[in-house]
Structures are given as C-alpha cells and as structure tokens.
Structure 1
C-alpha cells in the first residue's frame, strides 16, 4: 500500500472534514501518498483528484460540510461508470480508497471492491442509520441543532399556548426524532419504525389540556410523512390550530460537536490502519466505545432498528 485516496459521498454531515483530516494525516504519518477526490463518485469518474499534503487539511477539523464537496452520481450506478472510476485510480497507482458517507456510498464502495479496489467505508450521515456502529459521524451535531431549535420553539409555544409540530430529518430512521424528543422533553414522537394512530396523538393532547397544560410539542420524523399534513389532520379533528416547523437542511450544517470530531478522527484513522493491514471491503464503526469493523456487504444486509426502550421511556416521561 503506497497510495490511497479519500472521498465524501451522499449527504454532507458535520464531522466529515475531521474524518478527511484523519485519513490524510494518518496516511502521511505512515509515509503513504494521499489523494483527495472531489465531488464524490462523480469526481472519481471524471478524474477530479488532487494530491494532499499536511496543509491540505489544516484548519478544517472545526468546519461543517466537506471540503471535498459531495454529489450523487447516476453514472456510477452503471458498470461502465464504475470501470471509469477504477481506471482513474489505476492510472494514478492508487491502491486503496476510503469512502465517507451513508448506505448509498457504501453500495458504491462495495462495487469498487468487486472491481478489485481495496476500499474501506466510514459512516458519515446525520441519520444514524448505518448498522455496525452505535453512532455515525454528524448525528450528535444534528441532534444538538434540533434540541436547540425545539428549546426555542417551546418558548413561543408556551407564550402563545399552542401545539407545535416539528419535522426533523432522518429519512427512514427515527433516531434523530427519538433522541431529540427525549432530550428536549417533547410530548409526542412519531417514528417510521413504530406505527402511530392520529386519534391516540389527539388523546394525548386532550389529556394534557385537561390538566391545564398550555402547550405541546410533537416531533415528527420525516420518514413518517409530512408534518404539515399531520398538523392539518389534527386541526380538522380538534379545535386546535397547530403550528408546523420543518427544520430542513439547517440540521446538516454547523460546527461539529466535540463528540463528532473525536468520532470522525478515530474512524478515519482506523480506516487507514485497515488498509495498511491489507484489509478491504470493510466498514468501520464504534460499538461500546470500541473500534470495530464488519464486511460492507453484511452492513448493507442488516436492518437498522430503533431503541424501543428509549421510545417507551419518552412516553413514560411525557405523561
């Protein structure tokens, strides 16, 4: 292993830059040459690679987003596109690749392994929906962004004695909704993993009203559906006029938390260590504060699950 490359793919997440920095500096420490791939798999196909030195990743550990930029690539889904990417790596004598991203990025990494490229996946997504790790890079930062937003909205909800629905990201995973609801004391959580009944939601609101509760916060994971539509349904079935806030892409931005910076640094460096050991086709993770790795194909086959004990706890604490 003499030359490696690193790319970020899919949705950006706070801490990706810290992971890129760790990959580059760990590789240089072991006298490897490192290339940064710009614009994900699209850039790899087009040959948008640049050699990186120590200074290339200076002063980025605290920055959100990704200096390598990110883009989705339809062409890379084809065999022809994959072979173009492989050719770009081979022409530069690059022996290994670190891919930082979510499950779509992992699928791309797996294809490169099939074509003979030693590839390691690093979980970078705010959704926390990658099996084989307790936390993904960016989850903690996004979680804290959501908590701050809920705290501010609660001030307004209390002042105007209103019900607010707050829609958060997560795709088909409810981790952001669950963790933020528990941390911010939301009264109701709607998760894609657990079916909900709108009448039960309304009953909770009515119970709160009977004990003279002046406001309510309902957190809706985007995988459940539109918070606007759910709010309209509540309005039609009650005398309430709920307000809806869709937090959107502000959840992806901002300086990464200390936890995400450390997590990204550990996982990025570990990916390089595995390449130096001659490993390939693996995804790194953190379980019980221990660095672990699993075959990418196994990670892709496993199903993400929600912590139902936490869900029950949130109900117990929001009576």
Structure 2
C-alpha cells in the first residue's frame, strides 16, 4: 500500500473535512502517498486527482462541507464508467481507496470493489445516522444541534403567539434526527417513518397537548414520514381545526452546514485514522464505525442493507414528558 485515494460523495456532512484531514495525516505518518479525488465518483471517472500532503489539510478541521467537493455520478453507475474509473486509479498508481459518505456512496464502493478486486474502505459521513453497524455517523451530532437551536428559537415565537408549529427535519427514511431533537426540544409530537401515526391519532395528540393548554405546540416531522408531506398535514389540520393557529417551517439544507461539533470532529478523526489502518491490515469492502466507543469493521453490504433500529425508549420518553 504505497498510495491511496480519498473522496467524499453524496450529501455533505459537517465533519467530512475532519475525516479527510485524519486520512491524509495518518497516511503521511505511515509514509503513504495520498491523492484527493474531486467531486466524488465523477472525479474517479474524469481523472480529477490532486496530490495531498499534511499541509494540504491545515486549518480544515473546523470547516463544514468538504474541500474535495461532492457530487452524485450517473456515469459511475454504469459498467463503462466504473471501468474508466479503475483505469484512472491504476494509471495514477493508487492501491486503495477511502470513501466518505452514506448508503449510496457505499453501494457504489462495494460494487466497484467487487468488480475489480480493489481495496475500498468506507467512512460513514451522513447527517441521517442511518447506517447499520455504527452508533454515530459523521455530521449527525452537528445536525442535531443545528435543529435544536432552530426549534428552540421557533418555540419562542410559538409561545408568544400560542401557535402550533409543524417543523420538518431531514433524515430521508430514517427518523433519528426527528426523534432525538424531539426529546431535546420538548416537542409535543414527533412523526417518524419507522412508526406509523394515523391522522386520527395525530388529531387526538393535538387535542390533548395543544387544544387543552392553548399555549404552544411543536410537531417535529421527519421528511420521510408516511402520513404525507409536512405542508399537507399542517394544511389539513388547519382546515379541520380553524381554531388552531398553524404554521409550517421546513429547515431543509440549513441542517447540513456549519462548523462540526466537538463530537463530530473527534469521531471523524478517529474514523479517518481507522480507515487507513484498515487498508494497511489488508481489510477491504468494509465500513469503519464506532460501537460503544470502540472501532468496528462492518461489511459495506451489511451497513447498507441492514435496518438500523430507532430507540423505542426515546419514543416512550416523548409520550411521558412532553407538554
């Protein structure tokens, strides 16, 4: 293992730069050359490579986003695109690959690694925290804190005007952000993809928690919730209960940005070093994760396909302690 490549792919997540920094610094420490691959798998296909050294990653630990840029690649989904990417890697003399991203990134990495018997290690970088086999993914803690700060501010105006706010948060088909932010912010109701809530149940919750108190209520909605789009749910509630003062806020990409928290900086640093260690010990087609504070290696296929359960204890907690 004389030269490795590193890339970021899919949605950006705070802490990706910290992971890049750790990969580069660890490789340099081991006398391994590092090549940064720009714009994810598109960069592999286009041969968009840059040499990296310790100085290349100075000052990026605290920065959000990714200095290597990110993009989704349709061409890499094709056998021809992956063949071109492989030829570019071999021409550059790259012996192993570290990819930082989520399930889409890992899917591409696993397919590529198997097709060409190429060593690939995944680092979980996604705010959704939906990858099986790791307690935390890079960016999740920062996104949680961003959501908590935003909801706390919305609560101020909700209380001032006795309003009912529906607030949509990211997470695609996973409710980890909504659930944990709901506990942290005292949301009265949390709608999750993993727990089906009927419209009648929602109305009953609101009758108990909002209509009775006439103060304020926060309904946190994970974007993949099966009841419907947040704005449609709120509109229906408003029409059926005109006495409710209903408002909607969609936090959107606000949740992806910002300087990573200490938790994300430390996690990214640990996983970046662990990824290089994995390559040096001849591991391949695995994700490096963290479980109970210990580094683990999980097959990429398992990290992608196995469902990561939400914490049912927190669900019960919301029902008990919400207003």
State the TM-score, normalized to the length of structure 2.
Answer: 0.97
Q: Is the 8 A contact 2:132 2:302 kept in 1?
A: no
Provide the residue aligned with 2:95 in structure 1: 95
Provide the residue aligned with 2:2 in structure 1: 2
Other structure's SS at 1:284 match = strand
Provide the residue aligned with 1:285 in structure 2: 289
Structure 2 counterparts to residues 28-47 of structure 1, below 5 A: 28-47=28-47
Q: Is the 8 A contact 1:162 1:241 kept in 2?
A: yes
Q: Distance in 1 between matches of 2:103 and 2:309?
A: 15
Other structure's SS at 1:269 match = helix
Provide the residue aligned with 1:196 in structure 2: 197
Distance apart, 1:209 and its partner CA: 4.3
Distance apart, 1:301 and its partner CA: 2.5
> Structure 1 unaligned runs (5+)?
none
Provide the residue aligned with 1:297 in structure 2: 301
State the TM-score, normalized to the length of structure 1.
Answer: 0.98
Other structure's SS at 1:220 match = strand
Provide the residue aligned with 1:243 in structure 2: 247
The verdict on how the C-alpha distance between 1:209 and 1:311 changes in structure 2, with shifts beyond 3 A counting, is closer
Provide the residue aligned with 2:186 in structure 1: 185
Distance apart, 1:300 and its partner CA: 2.1
Provide the residue aligned with 1:128 in structure 2: 129
Provide the residue aligned with 1:261 in structure 2: 265
Provide the residue aligned with 1:215 in structure 2: 216
Structure 2 counterparts to residues 20-169 of structure 1, below 5 A: 20-114=20-114, 115-169=116-170
Other structure's SS at 2:167 match = strand
Listed one character per residue, the Cα deviations across residues 72-131 of structure 1 (whole Å, up to 9, x for unaligned) are 000100111111111111001110000000000001110221112100000000000000
- Number of equivalenced pairs: 319
Other structure's SS at 1:171 match = coil
Q: Is the 8 A contact 1:82 1:111 kept in 2?
A: no
Identify the range of structure 1 (206-215 vs 178-187) with the bigger mean alpha-carbon deviation: 206-215
Provide the residue aligned with 1:311 in structure 2: 315
Distance apart, 1:211 and its partner CA: 4.3
Distance apart, 1:158 and its partner CA: 0.3
Match of 1:234 among 230, 234, 237: 237
Provide the residue aligned with 1:175 in structure 2: 176
Other structure's SS at 2:279 match = helix
Q: Is the 8 A contact 2:124 2:288 kept in 1?
A: yes
Other structure's SS at 1:100 match = strand
Runs of 4+ in 1 over 4 A off after TM superposition: none
Other structure's SS at 1:84 match = helix
Distance apart, 1:52 and its partner CA: 0.2
Distance apart, 1:146 and its partner CA: 0.2
* Root mean square deviation of aligned Cα: 1.0
Listed one character per residue, the Cα deviations across residues 177-229 of structure 1 (whole Å, up to 9, x for unaligned) are 00000000000000001000122222222223464341100000000142101
Q: Distance in 2 between matches of 1:209 and 1:103?
A: 38
Distance apart, 1:38 and its partner CA: 0.3
Other structure's SS at 1:167 match = strand
Q: Distance in 2 between matches of 1:221 and 1:294?
A: 27
Q: Is the 8 A contact 2:210 2:217 kept in 1?
A: no
Provide the residue aligned with 1:11 in structure 2: 11
Other structure's SS at 1:122 match = strand
Listed one character per residue, the Cα deviations across residues 142-192 of structure 1 (whole Å, up to 9, x for unaligned) are 000000000000000000011000000000000000000000000000000
Q: Is the 8 A contact 1:3 1:95 kept in 2?
A: yes
Q: Is the 8 A contact 2:162 2:245 kept in 1?
A: no
